[in-house]
Structure 1
Amino acid sequence: MTGKTVLVTGGTGGIGGATAAGLAGHGARVGLVGRDRQRADATAGRIRDAGGEADVFTADMSSLRQVRVLAEEVLTAYPSLDVLVNNVGGYWATRHATEEGFERTFAVNHLAPFLLTNLLLERLRGSAPARIVTVSSGAQAMGRIDFADLMGAEDYNGQRAYNQSKLANVMFSYELARRLEGTGVTATVLHPGVVRTNFGREDSMGWMRLMLPLVRPFMKSPEAGARTSIHLASAPEVEGATGLYYANATPKRSSQASYDATAAARLWDLSAELVGLP
């Protein structure tokens, strides 16, 4: 990865921080995106102390306005961009609205990476061969895209919203791969495993708060959870691999719903309308 430039969203801790550190260890220049500047600077400092190269970008990915500003900053900073890792994600047990009025789970987990990817797409095309890696979850297998109530305005359930957003990640990646065919830019999506992070602690359900201390010892470390992201971002053997879902660095079949190309195109068009893209 020496000479390559990588952007990792949600890159200040957990799976994203481990992904950034791993790719920097392989020689990449890594851009870290996080909400908290102090935390991002600390992560970047550890990467630099280990001999890596890291830059910091600050953005709250629930704000599409801030995603647009982030894209402008990245395009200014990086004349070329070899890898985009859409790692940011979240879970909220209760419904929250973003500053644009979108349901936060759908906004952070799907609309933010959808918008950022599209805003950076020409730079990625110009840097080809380039890779777009999106972190989904095994929860995609339980997901259903509710086109009648994408934002959970009528009937919100935290787990259902999360499952939907993770299925959206997979469908987005497959549709993106179809649209990028022949450009030299690939799109893959992955399940990192069940990982020991602070995921969901901001607003978790009661049973999660009770169960997490019991199951944490059996969860993957962030470093183990980052292995598939690092593999898809850097491994020579996956050069050219696109439109695939991975777990444990191995191609797997995703849910049957994820292969519905008609629904994926519909989701793409609706997402573009929501974020204000042509």
Structure 2
Amino acid sequence: MRVVVTGATGGIGERISLRLAEAGHSVVLVGRAWERIDGARRRIAGAVPGADLGGEVADLSLAAEVRALAERLEPLPDVVINNAAVIAPLDASTSEGRQLMLATNHLAPYVLLRILAERLGDRPARFVIVGAHPGGLRRTPVDLDDLECRNHRALGPVPSFRPFVGYGRTKNMNAMFGYALAARLAKTKITVNGGHPGIVDQTGLGRSSTGLLRLFTVMINPFTQSLDEGADNPYWLATAPEVAGVTGKYYLRRRAVPTADHTTDPARVERLWDESARLVGLPADVS
């Protein structure tokens, strides 16, 4: 089985890739720089001699690079695990003029999976979108009038916590996109499911956090899971026979769980789909 893993050069993504390599799967590691991809390949190969490991360089914050990645992947994957995500300052933007967290965390999987779904046609495949804890996200609904979080004050009274709330919104977008894509691909052999890896240390997500958010990340460290534990749910969704053919679900510790009503409301889900299409220059309709 050929598996593409984004954000595979460290943290959960690298550990998922290691698990896949140990099981004998061919793994394509996607990262921003070849040096980081090569480092991850060396570490995985050191643990799994003879592992079938490839690499693809793409800046997932740029829709043009994501599109190019989706169009050049060959042979086509059997599984795609969208794991890459960042927590960044709210005013951090990409060279394409998009807010960095929105572009990396939501628009990248939106472009990648849409194009790959078209290329796959009637071939079977699994799309896994790594999200966050659904319970923790209930209080951070997506503001469909402000996808790029320009209204900072709406994200709470503590400035240093606002990037974390913005990140939470993008994770809710992941769930909403997963439901929308699963519905559109319901008559194909492609399944789409989301899942939470748990709160995991050593992911690098909070490397740019400051103030109270930095203190918060330090305080929760004793309660975090290991990378192996964090990799389990995404790995299971990518490989388990018991979820073959299952689509449009969200999983926590290998169990399907509901997400907040604001992530499943049909009108909200469709509006996010259409707005995302507009932002990346794709048609709203799926061929």
TM-score (norm 1): 0.92
Q: 1:214–1:21: structure 2 CA closer, same or farther, 3 Å change rule?
A: same
Q: Which of 103, 106, 118 is 1:122 aligned to?
A: 118
CA distance in 2, matches of 1:173, 1:29: 24
Q: Hey, what's the Cα distance between the residues in 2 that align with 1:261 and 1:205?
A: 36
Query: Separation in 2 of the partners of 1:146 and 1:44?
Result: 39
Q: Deviations over 1:225-255 (max 9, x none)?
A: 0100000000001101111110111111111
1:233 aligns with 2:238: yes
Residues 58-207 of structure 1: pairs in structure 2 closer than 5 A: 58-74=57-73, 77-78=74-75, 80-128=76-124, 130-138=125-133, 139-155=136-152, 157-207=162-212
SS of alignment partner, residue 88 of structure 1: coil
- C-alpha contact (below 8 Å) 1:140/1:170 kept by paired residues: no
Q: Could you give the per-residue CA deviations for residues 113-161 of structure 1, whole angstroms, max 9, x where no partner exists?
A: 1011111113333431x10000110143232121221112233631221
| Structure 2 stretches lacking a partner, 5+ long | 154-161
Paired residues, number: 271
TM-score by length of 2: 0.89
Shift of 1:94: 3.6
Identify the residue that residue 15 of structure 2 maps to in structure 1: 18
Given that 1:24 and 1:30 are in contact with CA atoms closer than 8 Å, whether structure 2 keeps it comes out as: yes
Question: CA shift at 1:264, angstroms?
Answer: 0.6
The offset of 1:193, in angstroms, is 0.6
**Partner SS state of residue 152, structure 2:** coil
Amino acid at match of 1:6: V
Instruction: Give the 3 Å change call, closer, same or farther, for CA 154–214 of structure 1 in structure 2.
Output: closer
Partner of 2:51: 52
Distance 1:247 1:142 in 2: 18
Preserved contact between residue 122 and residue 189 of structure 2 (Cα < 8 Å): no
Deviation at 1:63, TM superposition (A): 1.2
The letter of the residue matching 2:114 is N
Between 147-156 and 239-248, report the one with greater CA deviation. Answer: 147-156
Structure 1 residue 270 corresponds to structure 2 residue 267: no
157-166 or 169-178, which deviates more = 157-166
Would the alpha carbon gap of residues 116 and 25 (structure 1) be closer, same or farther in structure 2, given more than 3 Å must change? same
Retained in 2: the 8 A contact 1:197–1:222?
yes
Residue type of the alignment partner of 1:109: N
Using the TM superposition, give the Cα deviation of residue 199 of structure 1 relative to its aligned residue in structure 2, in angstroms. Answer: 2.9
Work out the CA distance in 1 between the residues paired with 2:122 and 2:51.
25
Instruction: Specify the SS of the correspondent of 1:132.
Output: strand
Per-residue CA deviations over 1:80-138 (Å, capped at 9, x if unaligned) read: 3110111111112442111111111111110011011111113333431x100001101
Task: Give the Cα separation in 1 of the matches to 2:33 and 2:228.
Answer: 21
State the Cα distance separating 1:205 from its structure 2 match: 2.8
Q: Distance in 2 between matches of 1:207 and 1:100?
A: 31
